Structure 1
Amino acid sequence: KNTSVIWTHFSSENDSQLATCNICKNKLSYKTSTSNLKKHMVSKHPTVAIGIDVAFLKPTKPPPKSLDSTVVLEEVDIDGELLPIEEINGQNTTASTSTSTRVQLPSTRQLTISSLVPKKIPVGSKRKIDEQLLKLFTKDFQPFSIVEDTGFKEFVNELNPSYELPSRKTISKTLIPAKYEECLHLTKEKICNIVFALLRIHGPL
């Protein structure tokens, strides 16, 4: 899977060794290394910061250690009556002998616990959510500090616990400049395709 920070600004097709720049739409070869993609960002889009506090690349907490698959039981509740393990197994033990039996836990218990751990959001899905988040600033003119508000954080977490909000620095130094470069490229492309244009001037000459 593409987990490098550079994939914030590139997209790749399945079974393809070409990456498409999300800003200028140029296709570049990357094979197994992303150095070519990084050079493209530095030379063609120098105003876009890369590698700064990208949320989906933050080191995640190590998964909790799985429970020991065996548990020592001294007695078992059978039909409301607590019976020693020795009696259930038909073993004859003396009071001075300390015995215990290891009982294998069903694997479904571990599966249930692992299912409670939030899955890491894919890069493509995170990019789409980031695009919608940017509309708060480009359309509604909300301050970048909204991503630090407790209520907003809780709201986003309720919608998608796997999504981690980008920081103010990431928004101002990476996401917004990248969006600007993308819009600038699209505007230039439209102007280049214009066959003719008519300009009107209103007011006294």
Structure 2
Amino acid sequence: MCKSKISFQSGVSNLTKHVQRKHLAVNLVAREETEQQPQEISPQLPPSSQPSTSATVTIPISTNPPARRYPPISAFLRRDCNKIKKDIDDHIMNLFIWDMQPFTIVEDKGFRDLIKFAFSNYVLPTRKYFANNLLPGQYEAVKTATMAS
């Protein structure tokens, strides 16, 4: 499997642990549970440290793929980044509308640091983005709602 040298003087537990940790694709099965022919692995030790008796370690190897033990990485990622970005943009837009803050606040160092601290993956748009893209949409939404009522 690999060229690692594992101590096996009194048992094969070190070898078993090595295979379980480093070779996840190998499925170790007890001898009485397997019907396959076991493969023999003969550890190679340097001639000076080779014991006087010859030892052969038998490890039955299954060719089945390893069972998934951990959830996929996608389970830890944010599901809908565009929705989160839109929500943050809308909340910043509400800061301009409700609190009458100037659009230039998005260029202030303190505000940029606050947003970077609160939302490390969020890229803060420019003031022109808020003024030219989001403000007209908000205006039309309020205008439509006002005319409907």
TM-score tier, shorter chain, comes to 0.3 to 0.5
What TM-score comes out, normalization by structure 1 length? 0.34
Structure whose residues are more often strand by fraction: 1
Structure whose residues are more often helix by fraction: 2
Indicate the structure (1 or 2) with the bigger Cα radius of gyration. Answer: 2
What TM-score comes out, normalization by structure 2 length? 0.46
